[in-house]
Amino acid sequence: MPSPTSRNQPANVSDYIFDSIILESERMDFEIDLSRATTDVEIFESLDRPYLTGTLVLGDNNNLIQGVDILGGEKVTITIVGTHSTSEKIKKTFYIDEIMFSRKGGDHTEVAGFHLIEDICYISNLYNISKYYDDTSFNIIEKIAKEYLGKEIATKTTPKESNTVIIPNMEPLTAMKWIVGGMSTNEGYPFYLFSTLAADKLGLYDLGTLISNQSINDDFPFRNWQAAANSDNFKVGQRAIKDYRFEKSENLYKLINLGFFGAEYEFLDTLTNKKNNTTLDIIKDLIKPLATSLLPRDQRNPTLTPAFKHEGKSFNEYKSVKKVSIGGSNAFRTATQFKTSYSENKTTAGYKAGVIADAMHNILQKTPLTIVVNGLEFLATPGHHTIGNNVTIEFLRSQVNTTSNDDHLDTKKSGKYLIYATKHMFKKEKYDVQITGVKLANMDMK
């Protein structure tokens, strides 16, 4: 994460300014700037969603709610700028889709909370697609995004194989997510379609590309120890972890039960009764290849292990689940071309790549960590620094007389994490960012 030019100066009280929060609607002859009345704004990003959501809380002593008669289809355009010289304005448009609460704060004051969804999500809800496409998966997504939502797609990896699909009465974002759900690289990395606060384009990246990128804060990691919070070095103190928690994690039983540890898969051609059979051994098919490719050199202790055994046989060698799915029936095959439908692959290896992608997506979320840090740098430097990026996080071991040396790091909690979800918390007195990170391996034991 680049350093802002004014980093050596003390931070302002809030580190940001609501340049404007404009409420507008076709039902109104005027716009209203809510920035002075707003007390809290929260904006949520996730790799699971191609749109943002948020909440807005304001103190109403001007009879706004009754006077405007908010019905749940009004636009709210939020423009935020950091108070540092390197900051750039961030502008996002939302729709109010729900009044969460409205209560009296006094005889002449009312506090109201609104739930927000990004404009592309609200607009998408107005359309229904029932249409035939014949192109690569990426190009189909790009066409839908441009035609219906006026959005461009940012990516680094674009599958080249032609795909034939009929969108079965879906709204655009659902259709795009549906197509993404059937995409994977040859190695079995799943794809994610997501929206971010600091970028206008939607991101479409495979997991391999995401986790292979360098951490944005290798120079000064986010640290959870007292010395970091009290450090005289502004960069170190600014990146001290304010709070953290581990979500529900390490549920190996569930992964086995869902068929993501050891399983048999059968893909049936209903026209010829031909079957494409494949198996999944998560250690052999995923963990071992990862350890020699994408994982950092000091972080190759996987969150899954073949050490657990029953009657001398590793858990991953058991075919605990058998799944039978409809594969394809060569519906779009001609004498000169073989184009695949949505659920169809040309080879058994193609089907297996999809199985590995599903398993990788679920295993990735096996050990999530959520931290809260100061949001200063997420606004102070231009560009996007949250979901889809990697961050380095360090925890000390729980022992007496520890120092900041690497030998004293908690190797299970520390390491490089992929930012999977983010909550931007803008309050009058501060701006914090809640980060949920995931990883496929722990740091090597010292």
User: What's the pLDDT tens digit per position in 308-351?
Assistant: 999 999 999 999 999 988 776 565 555 455 555 666 777 788 88
**Parallel, antiparallel, or unpaired for β 222-224 and 243-246?**
unpaired
| Model pLDDT, residue 229 | 61
- Residue, of 304 and 5, whose pLDDT is higher: 304
CB 267 within 8 Å of CB 341: no
Statement: residue 8 has pLDDT above 50: no
Average pLDDT over all residues of the chain: 85
Statement: residue 65 has pLDDT above 80: no
Instruction: Assign a CATH topology to domain 128-212.
Output: Phage tail protein beta-alpha-beta fold (3.55.50)
- Residue, of 429 and 190, whose pLDDT is higher: 190
Type of residue numbered 353: A
The string of pLDDT tens digits covering residues 176-232 is 999 999 888 888 899 999 999 999 999 999 999 999 999 999 888 999 877 666 666
Q: Any alpha helices (H) in 69-186, and if so which ranges? A: 119-124, 137-144, 172-181
- CA-angle at 131, arms to 125 and 132, nearest 5°: 145
- Write down the architecture of domain 16-122 according to CATH: Beta Barrel (2.40)
| Model pLDDT, residue 231 | 66
Average pLDDT over residues 124-141: 93
Statement: residue 21 has pLDDT above 70: yes
pTM of the model: 0.89
| Model pLDDT, residue 333 | 57
Surface-to-core class of residue 330, CB atoms within 10 Å of its CB (0-12 exposed, 13-18 middle, 19+ buried): middle
- Domains of the chain, residue spans: 16-122, 128-212, 252-361
Q: Any alpha helices (H) in 71-117, and if so which ranges? A: none
| Closest among 142, 141, 129, 55 to 99, alpha carbons compared | 55
Distance of alpha carbon 29 from alpha carbon 42, whole angstroms? 28
CA dihedral 380, 383, 388, 391 (to 10 degrees): -40
The string of pLDDT tens digits covering residues 365-406 is 888 999 999 998 888 788 899 999 999 999 988 765 545 555
CA 156 to chain centre: 17
| Model pLDDT, residue 109 | 77
